[in-house]
Structure formats: C-alpha cells, structure tokens
Amino acid sequence: MGFFIETLIGGLMAGMLYSLVALGFVLIFKSSGVFNFAQGAMVLFAALAMARFSEWANHALGGDSLLLANLIAFVGAGLAMLFVAWAVERFVLRKLVNQEGATLLMVTLGITYVLEGVGQTIFGSEIYNIDVGMPKEPVMMLESMFEGGILINKEDFIAALIAAVLVGLLTLFFQKTPVGRALRAVADDHQAAQSIGIPLNRIWVIVWLVAGIVALVAGIIWGSKLGVQFSLATVALRALPVVILGGLTSVPGAIVGGLIIGVGEKLSEVYIGPMVGGGIEIWFAYVLALVFLLFRPQGLFGEKIINRV
C-alpha cells in the first residue's frame, strides 16, 4: 500500500508540472482563439534568460548572494518575456486580426523558430543550470503508517506546490478581475469586443505576458530539474495530451487533465509496464488523448460547439 501511495503522490506532483505548461496553451487560446505552438519555445527562451541573467548577476555580485542574483535574474527574464509579448502583438497579431485559425496556427510555428533562433543568438547554445536553492534530496515520510515509509522528492514537492499556487492565482485572475473578463470577451468575438471599447492590442499583450510568466516559472522548474538545453522546448509536447483531456478553453481542465495524465503515467509504468516490456510512460498520455478525441473531442471541461443551420 505504501508503494502505491508513493507512486500516486509522484504522479500528482508530475501532473501539476504538466498543468503548468498546459496553462500557457489554455491562456492564449482562451483569450485569442490561437493554438500557440510556440509555448515550448517560450519555456525554453524564458529558461535561457533566467539561467544567463542569474549567471551574470551572480558574477557581478561576486557570488555572495544567490538569492539576490536569482531575484535580479527573475525580474530580467520577466522583462524579456514582456518584450516578447509586446513584439508578438505589435509585429504579428495586430496585422492578423480576424484571420482564419489555420493562419494563426502557422504564425505560432514561425514564432517558435524565431524564439529558438534569437534565444540561441543572445544566450548561447550551451547547457546551463538553474540553481534556485530547491533541495534535491528525497525524504522518507509516514514511516509509522506504512512499512518502509513513503519516499518523497523535495524538489518535486516544492515545484508542485509552486505550480498549484500559480494555477490558483490564474484561476482567480480569469474569473474575478475585469481584465480576466475582458480576455474571455475577446476570445468569444474580436470585433464585438472592440465595439464595446475593449482594446484588443492591449489585451493580447497582457495575455501573452501572462503566458510568458507561466512559461518562465515552468522553465525555471524544468530547468532546475533537467538543465536548460534546447530539448527543453519539447516539454510542451508532454502538455498537449493534458490540453486535449482537460479542454482548450478551461483553466480547471488544465489542472484536472494534468493530474490525470501524471497519475496515469506513473501507475501504468509501474503496474502495466512490466507486462508490455516497459516504456508505457512515454505513450500512455497520447493514447488516452486519442480516446478522448474519439468520444469527447472538446475534453472534460471544454465548451461544446453547436453549429445551428
């Protein structure tokens, strides 16, 4: 029983990290109707900025204060993502208002390659480490309740807690603030939103900035775990089944979908993997997403589209 609980907790913590990346997709699609294939590149760009700014700040401070260096780096990386948000709106989205979804999708693919190329040019292509002081040693818990106890990775636990707090704040932002309501109005109809005085260009800058901050937090967490390298951009692919499962327009769906995928991957790898030769954790999420596409394409919490003729 203790091993099952340990596996379950590990899956929940991994699921929260998937949810964090999936939120970037949901935020932009919910407010602009654009499926942002550049989300993985945004995670990579933000992580590169954080790693390099932290390195430069730490060198400038003589290595005396890691916390201050990381704080400076976080602000600098945040400003970099603000610039990315402004540039995307100013030079791309502003010229493509009310264009077809396929056009906007292809544009985000172009943004992907631009961000990867610019990131490599500015920050270099080496593998960098992000040290934000999160403990990496596992800890044994609940030894009195379960024989042998439950092994918990401290870094995964703290990362999952940070992701959960950010997800909660974003949920409140969308549901309770005037800006959040304006974002939802823009997603429903660009022209109608403009007709009632909602500034489309400002809203798009805000939503891409929020998605950029989400990408920054995700980049810091994944960069701390895996190192900052260009393969980090593929982390967004792990979030695609989460988006499909939870629904493209639902922030709670991203949370629930991430938890389901995380737990399903861990449990299937442990209990089903030995029967099929292992490796099930790699493709389990995609098979589950395919099943949902067949029977409920809008996802668990997505809005069902009804066409009237």
CA separation, residue 182 to residues 125, 178, 268 (Å):
39, 6, 41
Residue 266 domain-assigned (yes or no) = yes
pLDDT at 32 over 80: no
Q: pLDDT tens across 243-281, in order?
A: 888 888 777 788 888 888 888 888 888 888 777 766 777
In this prediction, residue 190 has a pLDDT band, given cuts at 50, 70 and 90, of low
By DSSP bridging, strand 150-153 and strand 138-141 are antiparallel
pLDDT at 102 over 70: yes
Residue 166's pLDDT band, with cuts at 50, 70 and 90, is confident
Query: Mean of the pLDDT values across residues 6-13?
Result: 80
Q: Which residues of the chain form beta strands (DSSP E)? A: 138-141, 150-153
Mutual angle of helices 154-176 and 2-32, in 10-degree steps: 30
Give the residues across from 152 on adjacent strands: 139
Query: Is residue 308 situated within a structural domain?
Result: no
Write out the two tokens for 241: 């089944």
DSSP for 230-258 reads GGGGGHHHHHHHHHHHH-TT-HHHHHHHH
Q: Is the pLDDT of residue 309 over 70?
A: no
- Identify whether 304 is part of a domain: no
Q: Residue 191: CB partners within 8 Å, gap ≥ 6?
A: 98
Max mean pLDDT among 106-120, 160-174, 216-230, 233-247 falls in 106-120
In the chain, how many domains are there?
Answer: 1
The candidate with the shortest Cα–Cα distance to 77, out of 43, 31, 109, 27, is 43
| Residues 190, 212: Cα–Cα separation, whole Å | 22
**Mean pLDDT score of the chain, rounded to an integer?**
80
**How many angstroms separate the Cα of 23 from the Cα of each of 29, 203, 212, 301?**
10, 17, 11, 14
Interacting residues of 142 by C-beta distance below 8 A, sequence separation 6+: 2, 5, 149, 150
Helix (H) or strand (E) holding 224: helix 200-226
- Mean pLDDT, to the nearest integer, of 117-142? 79
Any domain includes 17: yes
Residue 305 has pLDDT above 70, yes or no: no
Q: Could you tell me the pLDDT band of residue 207, with boundaries at 50, 70 and 90?
A: confident
What was the pLDDT predicted at 146?
Answer: 64
CATH, residue 193: 1.10.3470
Residue 302 lies in a domain: no
Asked whether residue 211 is domain-assigned, the answer is yes
From the list 78, 31, 28, the residue with the least C-alpha distance to 239 is: 28
Q: Is residue 309 part of a domain?
A: no
pLDDT at site 219: 84
Closest to 115 (Cα-Cα) out of 208, 39, 184? 39
> Would the pLDDT of 28 be above 60?
yes
* The pLDDT value given to residue 279: 72
The lowest-confidence range among 40-49, 145-154, 279-288 is 145-154
- Whose CA is closest to 93, among 168, 200, 179, 8? 200
Domain that residue 23 falls in: 2-295
User: Would you say 69 and 59 are in contact if contact means Cβ atoms under 8 Å apart?
Assistant: no
Cα 98 to Cα 34, 93, 95: the distances in Å are 11, 10, 9
> Above 70 in pLDDT, residue 2?
no
Reduce the DSSP state of residue 152 to 3 states and report it: strand
Written as one letter, the residue type at 54 is S
Confidence of residue 79 (pLDDT cuts 50, 70, 90): very high
The residues pairing with 55 across neighbouring beta strands, listed in sequence order, are none
CA atoms within 13 A of residue 233's CA, in its CB half-sphere: 21
pLDDT of residue 143: 66
Could you tell me what percent of the chain has a pLDDT over 70? 88
User: What are the tokens at 110?
Assistant: 């172009």
- pLDDT of 174 higher than 70: yes
The yes-or-no verdict on residue 214 having pLDDT over 80 is yes
User: Going along 48-158, which residue ranges are E strands?
Assistant: 138-141, 150-153
Q: What is the pLDDT of residue 298?
A: 79
281 vs 304, more confident = 281
In a domain, 306, yes or no: no
Q: Is 300 helix (H, G, I), strand (E, B) or coil?
A: coil
